[in-house]
């Protein structure tokens, strides 16, 4: 599965599959402090009774035209409450948990974070120099997902940024998207800080 970001920003993008179908939206209204990212999955409006947990699609860029035409709605998956000096929190429905509890660091340099998904298996994100990748946290280290930065075609083919999810991870896509938004945002902040301090 390849999910292409509509913008070069994991925290403000529509995520579309290879056929261009919108599957997720991550939206983060601008705030100087205490911002919140909402991760939502698009669902089809089948004409059944409206679920209170489903919010109407909001237009935030030109790529939303087909979303409106298909009458897609958004079902909230999770929220990330960002705090620079306090604890950043994940909110899954009525359950709120700190990042440090849900995704603890697993090495001294803070380049790896583990989490246990709804399938009961442990996964590990690695925050690399220029990308993030996810693997099973066992001896196999089976690749689960990898982020590909936007390419302008200087070397190779130009493409938008996209998150590649391998078949082994397709049962936990909600959790992959949510944790990816966190780790890639932090990785990008670290990369920019290193560049500015060089």
Domain range for 183 is 2-197
Q: Which of 102, 138, 98 is nearest to 117 (CA)?
A: 102
Q: How many domains does the chain have?
A: 1
**What CATH number should be reported for the domain holding residue 124?**
2.40.160
User: Taking the CA atoms of the chain, what radius of gyration do you get in angstroms?
Assistant: 17
Instruction: Specify the pairing of strand 72-81 against strand 132-136.
Output: unpaired
Residue 63: per-residue pLDDT: 57
Q: What is the distance between the alpha carbons of residues 147 and 198, in angstroms, rounded to a whole number?
A: 25
Q: Residue 168 half-sphere exposure, CB side, CA atoms within 13 Å?
A: 14
* Local structure of 173: helix, strand or coil: helix
Residue 198: per-residue pLDDT: 54
Residue 196: per-residue pLDDT: 65
Check: CB of residue 78 under 8 Å from CB of residue 92. Answer: yes
What distance lies between CA 6 and its chain's CA centroid? Answer: 13
pLDDT per position in the chain (198 positions), as tens? Answer: 999 999 989 999 999 999 999 999 999 998 888 899 999 999 987 643 334 343 444 444 445 777 776 788 999 999 999 998 889 999 999 999 999 999 999 877 768 999 999 999 999 999 988 899 999 999 999 999 999 988 777 677 878 999 999 999 999 999 999 999 999 999 988 877 777 665
> Which residues have C-beta within 8 Å of that of residue 170, sequence separation ≥ 6?
1
Instruction: Specify the pairing of strand 36-44 against strand 13-16.
Output: unpaired
Q: What is the distance between the alpha carbons of residues 95 and 174, in angstroms, rounded to a whole number?
A: 15
């Amino acid at each position: 599965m390849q999910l292409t970001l509509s913008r070069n920003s994991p925290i403000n993008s529509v995520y579309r599959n290879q056929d261009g179908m919108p599957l997720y939206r991550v939206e983060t209204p601008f705030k100087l402090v205490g911002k919140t990212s909402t991760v939502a999955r698009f669902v089809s409006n089948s004409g059944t009774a409206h679920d209170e947990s489903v919010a109407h699609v909001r237009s935030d860029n030109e790529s939303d035209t087909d979303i409106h035409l298909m009458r897609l709605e958004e079902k909230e998956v999770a929220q990330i409450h960002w705090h620079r000096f306090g604890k950043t929190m994940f909110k899954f429905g009525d359950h709120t948990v700190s990042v440090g509890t849900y995704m603890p660091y697993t090495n001294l340099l803070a380049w790896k974070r583990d989490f246990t998904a709804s399938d009961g298996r442990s996964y590990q994100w690695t925050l690399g120099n220029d990308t993030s990748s996810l693997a099973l946290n066992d001896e196999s280290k089976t690749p689960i997902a990898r982020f590909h930065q936007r390419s302008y075609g200087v070397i190779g083919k130009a493409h938008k940024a996209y998150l590649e999810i391998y078949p082994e991870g397709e049962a936990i896509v909600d959790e992959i998207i949510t944790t990816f938004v966190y780790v890639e945002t932090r990785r990008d902040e670290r990369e920019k800080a290193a560049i500015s301090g060089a």
